[in-house]
Amino acid sequence: MDSGSASIEIRGEQLLLLPERAMYWPAAGMLPIADMHCGKAATFRARHVPIPDGNMEADLAILSAVLERTGANSLAILGDWIHAAVGCTKDVMQAIDKWRAQHAQLRIHWIHGNHDVAPAELRSQFSFEEDATALDRGPFCLQHKPGVHQTLYTLAGHVHPKFAFGGHGIPRTHLPCFLFTSDCGILPSFGSFTGGMTIKSKPKERIFLVAGGNVLEWKC
């Protein structure tokens, strides 16, 4: 369906892994993303570290493009939509509002992450459906931190997984990745101003690298 994306089947459901570091679940029309970290640059500036603006707007534009391309009717935020309360400046909130107005029909599930500590009055203006801990849909349990569910397959974020490869004459490179274990799938961070944690490949786990405009399974 999508050029550059990869596909994986989990508990009988097909999931598309998109090069924009998002996931699409066609059967449910749902687009899960993780770790956007809105207002991170603003947080740095508020703490007197000069980081320019522009990331969040660029990321929101990418998100709009993915929503349009997939035709998703709901967005599932697997936590850390907001970076920090101090970064929820007027500019940041306005940018999010503007983006929200462009997708007024979209259902947005906001599962809280450890960074989502924005004041309540700010949050209510998003008109997101908020879930404090987890959202169960079909065979999946969507939550922020990776974990094992008794019956459902967990989809989570929080880790910002990256995979490192190189050597043998190829320069060492770190790439964001999707990671699937037998009972939990972890999405790469969607926000572009986010770091990552280097993970190692283990037997029986599947790793999909986001390499430029492509998602590619790592087989070794």
Partner 1 sequence: MTQATLKHWFTKRGWKPFAFQKEVWRHYAAGRQGLIHAATGTGKTYAAWMAALQEPPGDKLRVLWITPLRALAADTLESLRAPVADLQLEWRVEARTGDTPTSIRQKQRRNMPHALITTPESLSLLLSYDDAHAMFKGLRMVVVDEWHEQLGSKRGVQTELALARLRSWAPSMCTWGLSATIGNLDQALQVLLGANGANGVIVEGKQPKRIQIDSLLPTHMDHFPWAGHLGANLLPQVVAELRQAKCSLVFTNTRSQAEAWYQMLLEACPDWAGQMALHHGSLSRETRDWVEDNLRLGKMRCVVCTSSLDLGVDFAAVDRVLQIGSPKGVARLLQRAGRSGHQPGSLSRATCVPAHAFELVEVCAARESISKGFLESRTPLQKPIDVLTQHMVTMACGGGFEEASLLQEVRTTHTYQQLTDDEWNWALAFVSRGGAALSAYPNFNKMTLDKDGKWVPSDATIIRRHRMNIGTITADSSVRVQYLKGAILGHIEEHFLASLKQGQAFVFAGKLLEVILIRDMTAWVKQTSGSKGAVPRWMGSRMPISSLLSVAVRSKLNEALLGQYRGVEMRAVRPILETQRQLSRIPAIDELLIEKLVLRDGYHVFLYPFEGLLVHEGLAPLLAYRLSRLLPLSMTTTATDYGIELVSHDPIPIEQAVRSGLFSPDNLGQDIEASVNAAELARRQFREIARISGLTFQSYPGKSKTARQLQASAGLLYDVLVQFDPGNLLVTQARTEVMETHLESSRLRSTLQRLSVSQIVYVNLQRGSPLSFPILVDSIRGSAVSSENLLERVRKLQQRMEKAAS
Q: Give the DSSP H or E segment for 63.
A: helix 55-70
Which of 8, 13, 45, 205 is in the footprint of partner 1 by CB under 8 A?
A: 45
154 contacts partner 1 (rule: CB under 8 A): no
Scanning 9-17, 51-59, 71-79, 146-154 for contacts with partner 1 by CB under 8 A, the matching segment is 51-59
Scanning 61-69, 121-129, 141-149, 190-198 for contacts with partner 1 by CB under 8 A, the matching segment is 190-198
- CA 173/CA 118 separation, integer angstroms: 35
CB contact set of 79 (below 8 Å; sequence gap of 6+)? 34, 35, 111, 112, 113, 114, 115, 116, 143, 144, 145, 156, 157, 158
- CA 193/CA 91 separation, integer angstroms: 17
Site for partner 1 (CB under 8 A): how many residues? 44
Whichever of 30 and 209 has its CB closer to partner 1, that residue is 209
84 contacts partner 1 (rule: CB under 8 A): yes
Exposure string (b/e) for 21-38, b if CB count within 10 Å is 16 or more?
bbbbbeebebbbbbbbbb
199 contacts partner 1 (rule: CB under 8 A): no
54 contacts partner 1 (rule: CB under 8 A): yes
Whichever of 71 and 166 has its CB closer to partner 1, that residue is 166
28 contacts partner 1 (rule: CB under 8 A): no
* 106 phi, psi to nearest 5 deg: -70, 135
Which of 10, 28, 51, 122 is in the footprint of partner 1 by CB under 8 A?
A: 51
203 contacts partner 1 (rule: CB under 8 A): no
CB contact set of 51 (below 8 Å; sequence gap of 6+)? 41, 44, 45, 193
- CA 113/CA 69 separation, integer angstroms: 27
- Give me the residues that bind partner 1 (CB under 8 A), please: 40-55, 58, 83-84, 86-87, 89, 91, 165-166, 168-171, 173, 175, 192-195, 198, 209, 211-212, 214, 216, 218-220
